[in-house]
């Protein structure tokens, strides 16, 4: 069992970018809007030019939490920048030269590196890809870091967008363009979150929605607890008051 505190959080999806809007979305009163991009006009121009939609989502969330942070970074994404990868593969198939700039932002830890450079953060970073369990493993990784040093802070950022048409035959769950950033600490305050293994029978929840989106429902109070099945076990997050 792990206890941790969420110091702040930020999430972005097209048309849903504030806590109040996320609450409306969780209650079914607001839907995502196709085509919108995060506003990153406060990000230096040279960096903005290198960012696709995923990169803009990550930088928007990170900047909204703290512009001068230096926490340990944990990034997670099920698909990463698959759109950029598909373009590079097409170039290879056509025997065209690959763009070093496009390749540099297509690798899975590219955004973690860019954020570290932008924020002058020399703390370690981890980039996780674990299929539909990516967000859960990022949360578990953050807890492992905080277990070693409860006083430090961890910035967890999970981000994804739909796969490009090239990969559609392999899609098993619809993933919207959305990102979630959590600033976590192991220092227990007056209230916090408890992550534990349970034996509850919650099988109907499996596969219904992306894990990060269900966690947002938990954050805005639409769910009393967040559940996720993994390895034949069921994990649960609940809020506690000291």
The answer to whether residue 107 is domain-embedded is yes
Distance (Å) of CA 138 to CA 25, 86, 102, 189? 24, 25, 26, 22
pLDDT over 70 percentage in the chain: 89
The answer to whether residue 205 is domain-embedded is no
The answer to whether residue 46 is domain-embedded is yes
- pLDDT above 70 (res 201): no
d(CA 132, CA 207): 9
Q: Which of 238, 213, 208, 212 is nearest to 226 (CA)?
A: 238
- pLDDT above 70 (res 148): yes
Judged by DSSP in three states, 94 sits in coil
Model pLDDT, residue 240 = 83
Residue partners of 107: CB distance under 8 A and separation at least 6:
none
The answer to whether residue 238 is domain-embedded is no
CA 7, distance to chain mean position in Å, is: 16
Q: Which of 193, 212, 211 is nearest to 202 (CA)?
A: 211
pLDDT digits (tens, 9 = 90+) for 129-143: 998 899 999 999 999
Q: In what order do the strands lie in the sheet with 233-241?
A: 125-128, 72-76, 153-160, 178-185, 2-12, 191-198, 233-241, 225-230
- pLDDT above 80 (res 235): yes
In the numeric block, the tokens 């976590």 are attached to 184
d(CA 154, CA 236): 20
- pLDDT above 90 (res 24): yes
- pLDDT above 80 (res 174): no
d(CA 100, CA 95): 15
Model pLDDT, residue 145 = 94
CATH code at position 28: 3.40.47.10
Q: What predicted TM-score, i.e. pTM, was given to this entire model?
A: 0.88
Residue partners of 44: CB distance under 8 A and separation at least 6:
118
The band of 121, judged by pLDDT with boundaries at 50, 70 and 90, is confident
Q: Which of 178, 225, 153 is nearest to 7 (CA)?
A: 153
The band of 28, judged by pLDDT with boundaries at 50, 70 and 90, is very high
The answer to whether residue 216 is domain-embedded is yes
In the numeric block, the tokens 């859960």 are attached to 136
The band of 206, judged by pLDDT with boundaries at 50, 70 and 90, is very low
Angle (nearest 5°) at CA 238 between 232 and 242: 135
Identity of the highest mean pLDDT range in 22-36, 77-91, 97-111, 191-205: 22-36
How many domains is the chain built from? 1
Other CB atoms within a 10 A radius of the CB of residue 4 amount to 24
Question: What is the Cα gyration radius of the chain?
Answer: 18
Question: What domain range includes position 48?
Answer: 2-190+211-225
């Amino acid at each position: 069992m792990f206890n941790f505190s969420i110091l702040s959080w930020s999430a972005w999806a097209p048309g849903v970018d504030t806590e109040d809007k996320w609450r409306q979305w969780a209650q079914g009163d607001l839907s995502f809007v196709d085509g919108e991009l995060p506003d990153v006009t406060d990000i230096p121009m040279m960096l903005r030019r290198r960012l696709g939609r995923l990169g803009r989502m990550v930088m928007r969330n990170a900047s909204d939490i703290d512009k001068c942070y230096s926490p340990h970074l944990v990034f997670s994404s099920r698909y990463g920048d698959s759109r950029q990868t598909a373009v590079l593969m097409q170039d290879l198939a056509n025997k065209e030269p690959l763009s070093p700039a496009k390749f540099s932002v297509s690798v899975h830890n590219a955004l973690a590196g860019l954020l570290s450079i932008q924020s002058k953060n020399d703390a370690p970073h981890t980039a996780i890809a674990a299929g539909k369990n990516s967000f859960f493993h990022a949360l578990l990784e953050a807890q492992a870091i905080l277990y070693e040093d409860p006083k430090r802070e961890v910035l967890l950022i999970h981000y994804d967008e739909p796969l490009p048409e090239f990969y559609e035959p392999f899609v098993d769950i619809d993933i919207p363009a959305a990102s979630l950033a959590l600033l976590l600490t192991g220092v227990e305050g007056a209230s916090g979150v408890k992550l534990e293994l349970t034996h509850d029978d919650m099988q109907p929840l499996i596969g219904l929605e992306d894990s990060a989106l269900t966690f947002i429902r938990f954050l805005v109070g639409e769910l009393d607890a967040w559940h996720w099945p993994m390895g034949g076990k069921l994990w649960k997050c609940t809020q506690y008051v000291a």
